[in-house]
Chains A and B, each alone.
Chain A
């Protein structure tokens, strides 16, 4: 029977090469963390830091310097100006000031209108988040991430075992760190939609891990395991057996997030970016991280047990 197959009876040694996977992941995360430190931390959008965001569109393309000069005349502190899509449209991020957000908007728009060569822009979007709301959202965001990890830990621990739960959560933390690193390297801000994307990745990236675990268990109960097969081999076999599933399911989701990134418009771009990175790293972490961690853990545990036994024997 002819089938279109991505992998035919794959038998790659994933677990054996896990050191390389660890190194690649660590390098990427360290680079990301380094860029965060260099940039003074992860950049927070106004959802979390508070402030005013104006999305304005001019009749014609305008240079960013003109906008900067215009805003400098009102002296409202450090504002961020960012091109949005093309040179007609800009995002202006104004800091929280002593005056009301209404006043901040009015002053900024008046300054733009006054600048010759700019003209009054169309205001496409206004977002204001007060300092109190921003703080509330920050705390809630941390809780949301922790709760969903806890939920998944509990579910996997109940369905499989504690070790599997912990390894899955470790893989999730890995995926979130990779996403945050990618955001920092591409200068993206943490916002509510990005948080939504991260939570989705948390729920999704564990999917493939479950599929692989399921296979390990099934192989054991069916007794298809050859006698004396090491735990590492069992995991490696399961990953290989489910490899096409893991890659194909990720591929369809990758298609949609990539399309969203390209066609979904500027407002959704960051969210789509994080989803795309998350899907890729989620697959990687299923194949390389989640299983490998269990193997290393198991090995460490056995050595420790053996040592303990030796001690007991020595005492006796």
Chain B
């Protein structure tokens, strides 16, 4: 073991060089967790059932149109539960044609029940299709959110799928968490719906809405009193143009009122639909609905052929900017809900870093001093090894792009205490061998080789719990497991291999070796 000094020195030199290379430039190579640099950690749950419901309702519209094209009257289509669709025909006439058409138009559905006497066909979404829709909803949601965040301009944001239908969003260094959250979580379903002027909203609230209509509200804020009112409107359920047909959106300032508004451009399809809609309904009011809330309901004065619409509604510049972003990035295919949030302000992060550094320095100093006093020169060797351990720990983190979190700092502090344990085990063993009357050289040899097995044992148990913690943990706690495991693993190299090398360098060269500073 005491041979090959040159090779061993070379190995240590290479390790140190590689470590320094990974750590250069200093202070910039270690990723700081959100709890240290400040930022938002969000876990969003995608409401996949909602995506299914929308899909089923849309299928209902399609099949109704197709049946009517073939001259079969449909009295209504209706979604039942999450994935069932009921098609109610006016009569049982042309039954076979109807069944044929339904089968052709909706291959994604199984026929569950067909009652000719009642003229009713019940369909169920195939489980495989349902799964596909769910998967797609999550993936599209993720893409949409990524798109929005890119446009919002957060550098080093991380957006990942977590489990089956959760999305993990991590935004470092965001100054206005509430705004970022609103931007991410907004479904942003834009719809243009006609206002049903034949019905008075107040009456409809009392007696119920006519078939095919619904009541939506507009939020109005009184500029003086800041009081909020919700004004009801009766609108047609059918959306003539939606956010899918939007090709662009940007913020403009109204020349007269100097209020910001969002100007929306439609694609060719949307422009045609919008042109047709405005032409056929001059004089009526068109409600601009975002996520079920009416933003404004201007009167259509003339046909609008340009494929451009304006959304006004008393926005602040910030709100208008964010609305333009979400309209450009598109709607989420299904609503999302915040399941977990951890936001740390930049000031707390800075405090944590400062306290963490103090804690690490203080514990290093204490352990350093203790080893020096208790084991003298050998203690000093262990201290040098401890320094190398910290270097390796940080370099490995930089090399693997691991994230340093606040509990991770605790992990580093703990590593300092545990890494010297290996040296203590070895040194105590050497002392014991000396007491038993071994020569210094023999004691060193025996100490290292006998303690080695024990050292491995102790490392394995800590690594076992570290691994389980890593598997289980989220964000910050994972950072703790990472630093602890790397530190413990590195101590095998530093406290055994490197310490032994230093011992050999100092003691083995001497011809007469009578005492050991331990």
Interface positions of A (Cβ within 8 A of B): 1, 3-4, 55, 57, 100-102, 122-130, 132-133, 137, 140-141, 143-144, 147-148, 151-152, 155, 159, 192-193, 195-196, 199-200, 202-204, 206-207, 210-211, 214, 241, 244-245, 248-249, 251-257, 259-260, 263-265, 267-268, 271-272, 275
Q: Is B424 in contact with chain A by the CB < 8 A criterion?
A: yes
Which of B339, B420, B518 has a CB less than 8 Å from the CB of A132? B339
Q: Is B458 in contact with chain A by the CB < 8 A criterion?
A: yes
Instruction: List the A side residues contacting B462 at CB < 8 Å.
Output: 200, 203-204, 207
Instruction: List the A side residues contacting B457 at CB < 8 Å.
Output: 159, 207, 210, 214
Q: Is B425 in contact with chain A by the CB < 8 A criterion?
A: yes
Interface string of B243-270 (1 = CB under 8 A from A): 0000000000000000000000000000
Q: How far is the CB of A11 from chain B (nearest CB, A)?
A: 14
28 residue pairs of the A-B complex, CB under 8 angstroms, read A4-B373, A100-B338, A122-B347, A126-B177, A126-B341, A126-B342, A127-B341, A129-B340, A151-B464, A151-B468, A152-B464, A155-B460, A193-B410, A193-B477, A196-B469, A200-B466, A204-B418, A206-B461, A211-B454, A214-B454, A241-B432, A256-B414, A256-B416, A259-B366, A264-B355, A265-B356, A265-B359, A271-B407
Q: Is B298 in contact with chain A by the CB < 8 A criterion?
A: no
Instruction: List the A side residues contacting B460 at CB < 8 Å.
Output: 155
A196 and B370 form a contact (CB under 8 A): no
Which of A1, A126, A251, A260 has a CB less than 8 Å from the CB of B370? A251
Looking across the interface, which residue of chain B has its beta carbon closest to that of A123? Answer: B345
- Give the size category of B's interface with A: 35 or more
Q: Which secondary structure dominates where chain B touches chain A?
A: helix
18 more CB-based (< 8 A) A-B contacts, given A203-B463, A210-B454, A248-B424: A3-B431, A101-B338, A102-B178, A102-B181, A124-B348, A127-B342, A132-B339, A148-B464, A192-B474, A199-B466, A202-B465, A203-B461, A203-B465, A211-B458, A252-B367, A254-B417, A260-B359, A267-B352
Best-buried of A4, A127, A196 by chain B (most CB within 10 Å): A196
Which of A57, A144, A211, A268 has a CB less than 8 Å from the CB of B407? A268
A88-B416 Cα distance, complex, nearest whole Å? 33
Which of A1, A124, A128, A140 has a CB less than 8 Å from the CB of B340? A128
Interface string of B450-481 (1 = CB under 8 A from A): 00011001101111111011011110110011
Q: Which secondary structure dominates where chain A touches chain B?
A: helix
* Pairs of residues from A and B, 3 with the lowest C-beta to C-beta distance, nearest first: A203-B465, A265-B355, A256-B417
Instruction: List the A side residues contacting B343 at CB < 8 Å.
Output: 125-127
Instruction: List the B side residues contacting A137 at CB < 8 Å.
Output: 474
B366 and A255 form a contact (CB under 8 A): yes
A268-B375 Cα distance, complex, nearest whole Å? 31
Contact A210/B413 with A263-B355, A265-B352, A267-B352 known, Cβ cut-off 8 Å: no
Instruction: List the A side residues contacting B416 at CB < 8 Å.
Output: 252, 256
Instruction: List the B side residues contacting A245 at CB < 8 Å.
Output: 424-425, 428
Which of A3, A133, A211 has a CB less than 8 Å from the CB of B339? A133
A257-B374 Cα distance, complex, nearest whole Å? 20
Which of B356, B406, B413, B461 has a CB less than 8 Å from the CB of A152? B461
A259 and B413 form a contact (CB under 8 A): yes
Best-buried of A55, A141, A241, A264 by chain B (most CB within 10 Å): A264
Which of B356, B376, B468, B518 has a CB less than 8 Å from the CB of A148? B468
A193 and B465 form a contact (CB under 8 A): no
A128-B40 Cα distance, complex, nearest whole Å? 11
Instruction: List the B side residues contacting A200 at CB < 8 Å.
Output: 414, 462, 465-466, 469, 484
Contact A144/B472 with A1-B434, A265-B356, A275-B414 known, Cβ cut-off 8 Å: yes
B410 and A260 form a contact (CB under 8 A): yes
Interface string of B166-183 (1 = CB under 8 A from A): 000000000001100100
Q: Is B43 in contact with chain A by the CB < 8 A criterion?
A: yes
A195-B478 Cα distance, complex, nearest whole Å? 12
Contact A203/B474 with A129-B340, A264-B355, A265-B352 known, Cβ cut-off 8 Å: no
Within 8 A of A (CB), among B92-146: none
B425 and A125 form a contact (CB under 8 A): no
A154-B464 Cα distance, complex, nearest whole Å? 11
A211-B453 Cα distance, complex, nearest whole Å? 10
Q: How far is the CB of B478 from chain A (nearest CB, A)?
A: 9
Instruction: List the A side residues contacting B518 at CB < 8 Å.
Output: 3
A256 and B465 form a contact (CB under 8 A): no
Interface string of B44-80 (1 = CB under 8 A from A): 0100000000000000000000000000000000000
Looking across the interface, which residue of chain A has its beta carbon closest to that of B418? Answer: A253
Best-buried of A57, A124, A144, A244 by chain B (most CB within 10 Å): A124
Q: Is B351 in contact with chain A by the CB < 8 A criterion?
A: yes
Which of A1, A124, A133, A241 has a CB less than 8 Å from the CB of B344? A124
Q: Is B16 in contact with chain A by the CB < 8 A criterion?
A: no
Which of B406, B421, B461, B464 has a CB less than 8 Å from the CB of A268? B406
Instruction: List the B side residues contacting A133 at CB < 8 Å.
Output: 43, 339-340
A265 and B465 form a contact (CB under 8 A): no
Instruction: List the A side residues contacting B418 at CB < 8 Å.
Output: 204, 252-253
A253 and B374 form a contact (CB under 8 A): no
A248 and B428 form a contact (CB under 8 A): yes
Contact A264/B359 with A211-B425, A245-B424, A252-B370 known, Cβ cut-off 8 Å: yes
Q: How far is the CB of B386 from chain A (nearest CB, A)?
A: 10
A263-B337 Cα distance, complex, nearest whole Å? 38
Q: How far is the CB of A139 from chain B (nearest CB, A)?
A: 10
A211-B464 Cα distance, complex, nearest whole Å? 17
Which of A124, A127, A203 has a CB less than 8 Å from the CB of B466? A203
